[in-house]
Structure 1
């Protein structure tokens, strides 16, 4: 990273410039501005990789993978990851502020993201230390007599990681650190809105000892250039986090033999039973709905609440939402920041106004704030099931509450959409909890916790249109390897 002068209005200031992170590419003189989603302030400029740079990155990564003598040993990989975790800890404040500035995540939550990312890198060290093969039984019939068989793991090949904006450091760690641990050369493309955390993490890996050609990063202006990465026959594994429309299209363009993991969005349902502890539920529901302004793939979006307690729940939830501090994400007291782009504010508002016109009751919110990129946290009661806000992922600070009389009907409505990710139930009744667990279409069902709860070592999987494969650092590490068997005759 270096400094270059940029003219902003009448003032000339120096902003960081991030050069190419493709090995062997100096510059193609095509740059992209990175601006704060909160106030549009220029944060940095980054070099954009063109088709030639993408080809150079693929050539470099594939050459490394095909040269087995150049593979990084387990001790080398462990050392890189350990040093990277130390460097990240030393720069935690810088990384947190970077997340807040480029992604709009409130600083208090950005600090948590950095802590999780550091822990994720450390977890990869333990995965390398604990990885091994298995013994395959032999000598149990005539054909296997006097034979021995065992397996060990090898890297799957070149890893291409395409990431999203909403967790600009931790998502990259989830996609890239397991590749380092598995011994795969990687090429990572961050979201174009939030490239700085990714580029900084790759620079940290290099500073920690990762040879530059083993970890490359590209920033692209158009989706078609990024598609070149995913569809290339030299790619062994594609890790994609983003919209379903893009993810499923990329999967269809994979070269034969390439594997992939796709993580898309959901419209997360929560069922609140009549016996739920609302004192415990309300703060959790509010956090799950409005964390990062609702820009999380498992945000609480649909709450199905028993009619007997619905008015109390919406009034209390609306009060909490109306009191949230919305504004500058770099302010330590901010609880909800901006949406990533101005046109997303327009879209969210349009969906809300559509629901209100169709008969939804507004409990709170439903309007733009003074800062163009911020939207008031919104609670709606009983929007029609056929509204967009009831059918699609809103990715904004909005939660919809629906009344129900029969628990199984609530489950039916929760399961009615083609997406399926994490779900939750709030109840004090174990039988109700287990009924929800057995009947909700979800990869995870939370009990008395919001749908956005996650630890980085647990499985994290979208079902149906919500994704393919299983995320979570240990599971990604497993997917980025192949199990290779040796069969021999005993002497």
Structure 2
């Protein structure tokens, strides 16, 4: 948590300069307790449910307000989160599209007819299902996409008619606060969405409260799985953690097209993305040339304050992360990794884009999510070996393969343990309507606007005897 001016205020800083840029008031448990009571009553009293047309109107107005504040929102993302301004503008576009997607998905959030006369027991009856809001939602979010992640968690709750309390990451609460206020400006009654920055012990009490019907979490696996284990009986959840996104390259890959994609996928937001390119497996006879090509391009990236228009790689979220990444890199180098570029701190808040060749397989950089601007390249002697290494960790999220051979592409799609395998594209590709989430330790459930909306509703069946 950023330094607080007092026990009740959270100071927000620019992660590159560490200059204060704002503050938000921390919410205490008695306040959250009252909000949960109101949320629970809103759900129980069906006469108070917001009709779909009203929710649609609010979301439409919200998207319009966001569009009018486009540059302000992009600057705020860069200023509090360290995402380069050019990428922050893309995030705002996606966030606006995400709000509009919530509206579109409502028309697909339907029930269906159940045939009843398939046996004599069901004869003379008709049945159909509808979908209802699941109840109060608590969303806990991450820092790396401070506006779009909030849209993905809060937008579906508003669209489906669920009251929601949202706790942003302590490093990046300002974008979340802005979005909640825009919802209010668009006509959403405040009791339907509460901005709840709070200390970790209060957050845990909120998440594990029995009045919570659905828990949406984006963040570290250690925190997510711990909170899931403490949820009240009956609380549903979705967890999105990280991975160590593997990429497999074969001899036929189009190198000219592949290198820019790998550099973008590995160093976008300085690698602080849950599906950033981290591990690249390349045949031994071309591994040195491919790794050097990646390093040559990565070394040209401009590192600096994210609010500057020409910055391509911003800071890490806080100085402790710079120290951690540096320790992991030094461990790998001591174990025999070859440094092709980077491997050095750029002051307290930034780390140079780094490419390592053949780090030890047991090093932290090879076995854990680095969440920093480091890409590792490994030589392999066969496709089977590359796939085996790609599947060797307890995390599984998105992966990729670069090849011009259809059989290689299809084999990787079939055999790599991942929720999505990109063919001739980097692992960090995403559009907001696709299913998005991790397997095994990388998460629980599936994100994406439409999938989240289904999670935040529950099916009810009516059986009518004729």
Normalising by the smaller structure, the TM-score range is over 0.9
- Aligned counterpart, 2:365: 389
The structural deviation recorded for 1:140 is 2.9
Deviations 1:416-449 (A, max 9, x none): 1000000000000000111111110101000010
Give the one of 26, 34, 55 matched to 1:48. Answer: 26
Q: Describe how 1:476-491 pairs up with structure 2 within 5 A.
A: 476-490=452-466
Give the one of 194, 208, 211 matched to 1:234. Answer: 211
8 A contact 2:109–2:454 mirrored in 1: no
The structural deviation recorded for 1:144 is 1.6
Pair 1:258 & 2:243 matched: no
Secondary structure at the counterpart of residue 351 of structure 2:
coil
The structural deviation recorded for 1:301 is 0.3
Deviations 1:348-391 (A, max 9, x none): 0000001000000000000011x421110000000000000000
**Superposition RMSD in Å:** 1.1
Q: Describe how 1:302-451 pairs up with structure 2 within 5 A.
A: 302-369=279-346, 371-451=347-427
Pair 1:471 & 2:451 matched: no
In 1: Cα distance, 2:306 partner to 2:351 partner: 13
The structural deviation recorded for 1:29 is 8.0
In 1: Cα distance, 2:420 partner to 2:107 partner: 28
In 1: Cα distance, 2:283 partner to 2:34 partner: 58
Give the one of 146, 160, 171 matched to 1:182. Answer: 160
- Aligned counterpart, 1:21: none
Secondary structure at the counterpart of residue 169 of structure 2:
coil
Deviations 1:253-308 (A, max 9, x none): 11111100000010000001111111010000000000000000000000001112
Deviations 1:191-234 (A, max 9, x none): 0000000010011011111110000011113x221111111110
Seen in structure 2, the aligned counterparts of structure 1 residues 333 and 392 have a Cα distance that, compared at 3 Å, is same
Deviations 1:87-114 (A, max 9, x none): 0011010000000000000000000000
Pair 1:144 & 2:122 matched: yes
In 1: Cα distance, 2:434 partner to 2:240 partner: 15
In 1: Cα distance, 2:12 partner to 2:207 partner: 24
Give the one of 171, 183, 191 matched to 1:213. Answer: 191
In 2: Cα distance, 1:327 partner to 1:261 partner: 35
8 A contact 1:29–1:47 mirrored in 2: no
8 A contact 2:332–2:365 mirrored in 1: yes
In 1: Cα distance, 2:44 partner to 2:402 partner: 52
8 A contact 1:164–1:190 mirrored in 2: yes
- Aligned counterpart, 2:70: 92
In 2: Cα distance, 1:425 partner to 1:29 partner: 49
Count of aligned pairs between the two proteins = 462
In 2: Cα distance, 1:453 partner to 1:247 partner: 23
In 2: Cα distance, 1:210 partner to 1:306 partner: 56
Seen in structure 2, the aligned counterparts of structure 1 residues 29 and 344 have a Cα distance that, compared at 3 Å, is closer
In 1: Cα distance, 2:120 partner to 2:416 partner: 48
- Aligned counterpart, 1:110: 88
The structural deviation recorded for 1:129 is 2.9
The structural deviation recorded for 1:130 is 3.2
In 1: Cα distance, 2:247 partner to 2:111 partner: 40
Question: Runs (4+) of structure 1 moved beyond 6 Å?
Answer: none
- Aligned counterpart, 1:57: 35
In 2: Cα distance, 1:173 partner to 1:472 partner: 11
Farther off after superposition, 176-185 or 28-37:
28-37
8 A contact 1:275–1:427 mirrored in 2: yes
Farther off after superposition, 253-262 or 57-66:
57-66
8 A contact 1:81–1:208 mirrored in 2: yes
In 1: Cα distance, 2:392 partner to 2:118 partner: 50
Q: What TM-score, normalized by structure 2, do the two folds share?
A: 0.98
- Aligned counterpart, 1:279: 256
Unaligned runs of 5+ in 1: 1-16, 18-27
Farther off after superposition, 416-425 or 132-141:
132-141
Unaligned runs of 5+ in 2: none
8 A contact 2:78–2:85 mirrored in 1: yes
Q: What TM-score, normalized by structure 1, do the two folds share?
A: 0.93
